[in-house]
Chains A and B, each alone.
Chain A
């Protein structure tokens, strides 16, 4: 009951001193906005990467020569020197790894794509076996992915990304049309759903052709190849990876006392590593931007100190009619908290808007994050308490007589 009255008193005092309240708010808003911008942006980027990795199911892993988090130059050079993944090993893996349900070899090239008068350069060309669509979460917009028969008969069919469709077939149905990949004719059988851009990269500028057709046109890949492998179940993923590892080590003649000269990546492992990096990144950035929070807090404290000394007489009057120390303390703490919470809410919104425009520069989108909001609210509550408590205590401890005779 008393607390409610004190809250009202605090609101009235804030309202009566609009300029002062505004200045304090500004200090808090600047602090919270800068921290929230960074938290939201980082959160959003991590979310996007996660969503991307999710396309690789939880029971899937990739065997490749390059990957993981690279922490040194030496590691990088060692990776560059590795033998490429030989896509002919697909059968060996399937034989040697009984827990591997599906093995999909892939090769990557780049080509220009032409239809009629339209031409698109540097299109990412993936050659894969037909089963890729069962392993990776490929969303078909219309038409279909290439089939087992297409693979076997080395048919010149192609599944195209949205950018390719848009550039070559604006207003025209792409299905059944013939396009040219570096001059070779392919028939469009399907169009992918749009994925959008990320980190400034257009992720829809690609085509997929049967691996057999890719081998025929581009030859055996020298560097850019890998396997996508799906284990029988999530539970058997680790064991499946061990089996695949044994097969690959023996095929690649890795001496028993040497580490793998390839990596097996799972979405989880990549995510863990990314998270570790993001955590350090986040701590650093949040640490730097916290300085502006401290500045905001100091503004709160400073203005409250002025307010307490200006209102010494008021405090004396309240004490003379029976206000206890805790009543005065609460009144001033409420003022601080109301200011920092309001500033915090505004800061959260502004920070989100700023983060959104920041990440849109690298073609990404973010969504409001629960973590961000909770962090923002706790931060602003924290500032209110930490920087408001000292002035509030000073007010509470004033001697009533001295306060009453204060000029």
Chain B
């Protein structure tokens, strides 16, 4: 089943008289249950593509169909709703609320779909257990290590059972040992049936995925399946 389908996606930024094409016609298809890495050098348009897929932004031109629905025609509220129910985002800089506990951070998506507080806490606790942080629920981000913070972010991304997990350079702020830990977590989540897209500029990280899409200057350069023997993950 096709989860993501883009048709000739363009994203153009106008800076004064100059036009910057962050994406120049991206067409791709991602099936449910895939584990995809988007690779490319800095400034190639990876984050831009990720933000479009994650409905944080809309394309200047082109079509984007998510789960059979045309996202390009959606208004702000509908996009927020998609972000809430269909997308789980993990960022390089974690993007946790500094003042809130891990539990409250993970609860956040549930607040905006009107879940009751008991339901919220139960689901957030469950998500934190999945990333093995059940014993750190009442810690604030400042009281957690980088890897733990990123796991809180993963728990937040998972809490609403989204269709896709999107991670933009999730290991960019982590040391290599912790990076491996986080990638193992993604491997495991994929094994459990989640669709995962990871943006990275590192080959090692990309090789955890089963398919690697390379981007150069806002265009897809290559799109290859990673042979089983080259994969870094356990599966």
Contact = CB atoms under 8 A, between A and B. Distances in A.
Contacts of B113: 322
A120 B57 CA distance: 89
B40 interface: no
B201 interface: no
A5 B95 contact: no
Interface in A295-352: 313-314, 316-327
Nearest to A3: B114
A319 B84 CA distance: 9
Contacts, number: 65
A317 B114 contact: no
B85 interface: yes
A321 B76 contact: no
Contacts of A323: 80, 112
Contacts of A2: 111-112, 114
A172 interface: no
B57 A401 contact: yes
Contacts of A12: 99
Contact of B97 (A6, A314, A404): A314
A401 B51 contact: yes
B83 A321 contact: yes
B60 to A, nearest CB: 14
A404 B57 CA distance: 12
Contacts of A6: 111
Interface in A259-291: none
Contacts of B77: 324-326
Interface in B60-112: 76-77, 80-81, 83-85, 89, 91, 95-97, 99, 108-109, 111-112
A313 B97 CA distance: 9
A16 interface: yes
A370 interface: no
B105 to A, nearest CB: 9
Report the interface size class on chain A: 20 to 34
Contacts of A322: 80-81, 83-85, 109, 112-113, 160
A320 B51 CA distance: 10
A324 B85 CA distance: 13
A1 interface: yes
Contacts of A314: 97
Contact of B91 (A5, A9, A324, A404): A404
A241 B173 CA distance: 93
B56 interface: yes
A400 interface: yes
A318 B113 CA distance: 12
A9 to B, nearest CB: 8
Contacts of A5: 111, 117
Contact of A324 (B51, B54, B56, B76): B76
Contact of B95 (A1, A320, A327): A320
Given A9-B111, A322-B80, 6 more contacts: A2-B112, A314-B97, A317-B96, A320-B91, A322-B85, A324-B77
13 contacts: A2-B114, A5-B117, A12-B99, A317-B95, A317-B96, A320-B83, A321-B83, A322-B81, A322-B84, A324-B77, A324-B81, A400-B56, A404-B56
